[in-house]
Amino acid sequence: MNIISPIALDRRVLDLLVASGLPIEDLEDDVPRLYAGAEEEGRLIGVVAIEMHGNVGLLRSLSVRPDARGMGLSLALIDAGERLAAEAGIAKLFLLTTTAAPLFERCGYALTPRANAPDAIRSTRQFSGMCPSSASFMSKTI
């Protein structure tokens, strides 16, 4: 398995996200995003995205193929995403999750009141409607 960072948003990324039930309807807008991926034998088995909003970012679209789970790939992708964010000048990452809060807590993310979201994050489609209000909102200074 190889972590490749950055990668382009392409059909492979979109297909993996759709197969994972993650939203893609906003990924081809003009918001800058960086992607890191994991490949094995030439096929994409995992991906993560960093949506850039000035000096804050939204970690999103973390997905690992079911047959590649259990190998620490999510942790490696989160780390790759954080490195991309830091290199892009992002000081703090935010995320929304309905299923993976314990994973992100292990990576140093803390539950954060939605009221504390910066305006740049509050205005994202993820925050303002694509993710349910019941989703855990988390943050980490990087």
From the list 86, 112, 85, 80, the residue with the least C-alpha distance to 97 is 112
Structure token digits, residue 44: 């994409």
Instruction: Give per-residue pLDDT as tens, 17-58.
Output: 999 999 999 998 999 999 999 999 999 999 999 999 999 999
Report the CATH number that the domain containing residue 85 is assigned in CATH.
Answer: 3.40.630.30
- The pLDDT value recorded for residue 11 is 96
Structure token digits, residue 60: 């999103």
Q: Measure the N-to-C terminal CA separation of the chain; round to a whole number of Å.
A: 25
Helix (H) or strand (E) holding 110: strand 110-111
Q: Quote the number of domains for the chain.
A: 1
* pTM of the complete model: 0.94
Q: Which residue is associated with the tokens 């190998």?
A: 71
Average pLDDT, the chain: 95
- The domain of 57 spans 2-141
Look at residue 73 and give its three-state secondary structure. Answer: helix
The rounded distance, in Å, linking the Cα atoms of 92 and 18 is 27
The rounded distance, in Å, linking the Cα atoms of 48 and 36 is 6
Mean pLDDT of 116-120: 96
